[in-house]
Amino acid sequence: MTSAHLSLTVAAGERRTILWTRLLRRATPWLFSLPAVVFVAMFFGYPIVQNVVMSFQEYTTSTFYSGAAPWVGLANYATILSSYLFTTTLVNTALFTVGSITFQFVIGLALALFFKRAFPLSGFLRSMLLLPWLIPLIASSAVWKWLLDQESGALNQFLGLFGVPAVPWLVDPTLALAGVIGVNIWLGIPFNVAILYSGLQAVPKELYEAGSLDGATGWKAFRHITWPNLRPVVSVVIVLGVVYTLKVVDIILGLTGGGPANSTQTLATNAYNKSFVEFNFGEGAAISNVLIVVSLVFALVYLYLSRREPSE
């Protein structure tokens, strides 16, 4: 009896350890991903959830002291969607993003192709291209504001040499957006060159050798060898570029502050203004959620493209 009882408890103990090991073994993969999950939840999940909650609240300066943020449902969304500024900011955001990305990419690709051929000082010059990236945005936007000044700006003085009358770059509502896009293109070129250049390095040299035997040189080589091999890199550059450009705030604030007469106001700058100038955090959060949704669409496009890629 006693021995049987003993063996039973031993068995039970053994079974418990086996269960534990099994559980642990099954949990191991999850434990490995735990740090990542905690990180994402804390630094991405929490702010996004907080932002979504905030967009349904009347969240103002008073909220900070009293903690009271009355629930207002969809009122913030109704206000921003019916606002006179919403269409303007949406159109400006689209123009700003498309304009910036197109030129950043085309110029970036051209420069990357140019630097692919090794020539004296090419390495040095390529690293100099990264300069716009290294300068703090506040400094570079201040310098650009000064360069683009209508009366004493360096750009207009240069154009004046060719008899061009002073161009009101940041002052004319129709030109200001173009001016801001121009500066953002300058800023985005290094990113495009850096990524596309490394993409070009990864294209096997043998392909070009084989291609040249078949008469594929110059444009033909680009069309049939470089481009197809660069496609995955291109989609990364463009999708990341779009997401980065959608949320640009600092360069616009530094140059025009969204003016003149709201002609350079984008979703991102408007969200900033609502939250940190007017202290209307609820509406600011609602606008930034619209921006998040737009970015998310592009992220999905990216995921779709990158999944489709290998089958080609």
Partner 1 sequence: METAQKRQGKAPKVAVAAALLAPLTLTACTGAAASGTESPNTLTIQDYYDETQDPIYHSCARSVGVSLEISHVAGPGLIPKVLQQSSSRTLPDVLMLDNPDVQQIAKSGALSPLSDHGLTGEGMVPAVVQAGTYAGKLYGLAPGVNTLSIFYNKDLFDQAGITTPPATWDELRAVARRLTGQGRYGFAMSTINTYEGTWQFLPFMWGNGGTERDITTPQTVQALRFLVDLQNDGSMSRSSIIWSQDDVIDQFVAGKAAMVVNGPWQLPALKKQREVRWGAFTIPKRDPSQTTVAPLGGEVFTVPRTGNHAKMAKAGQFVKCLVSPEKQLETARIKQNVPSNPDVAEQAGKENPALAPFVTTVRTARSRTALLGPDWPKAATKIYNAVQIALTGKAAPAEALRQAQGEQ
Least Cβ distance, residue 83 to partner 1 (angstroms): 5
Query: What's the farthest any 2 CA atoms get from each other in the chain?
Result: 112
Q: Given the structure tokens 């002291």, which residue do they identify?
A: 65
Candidates 7, 21, 28, 50; binder of partner 1 (CB under 8 A) is 50
Q: Give the integer Cα–Cα distance in Å for 289 and 297.
A: 12
Burial class (CB in 10 A: 0-12, 13-18, 19+), 114: middle
Please tell me whether residue 149 binds partner 1 under the rule CB under 8 A.
yes
Candidates 2, 3, 9, 66; binder of partner 1 (CB under 8 A) is 66
Please tell me whether residue 258 binds partner 1 under the rule CB under 8 A.
yes
Please tell me whether residue 9 binds partner 1 under the rule CB under 8 A.
no
Least Cβ distance, residue 285 to partner 1 (angstroms): 9
Candidates 159, 250, 301, 302; binder of partner 1 (CB under 8 A) is 250
Please tell me whether residue 127 binds partner 1 under the rule CB under 8 A.
no
What's the Cα-to-Cα distance from 180 to each of 26, 148, 245, rounded to whole Å? 54, 10, 12
**CA angle, 104 as apex, 251 and 87 as ends, to 5°?**
55
Q: How does 243-253 read in b/e, with b if 16+ C-beta sit within 10 Å? A: bbbbbbbebbb
Please tell me whether residue 257 binds partner 1 under the rule CB under 8 A.
yes
Please tell me whether residue 88 binds partner 1 under the rule CB under 8 A.
no
Which residues contact partner 1 (rule: CB under 8 A)? 46-47, 50-51, 60-67, 79, 82-85, 137-138, 142, 145, 149-151, 168, 170-173, 249-250, 253-254, 256-263, 272, 275-279, 281
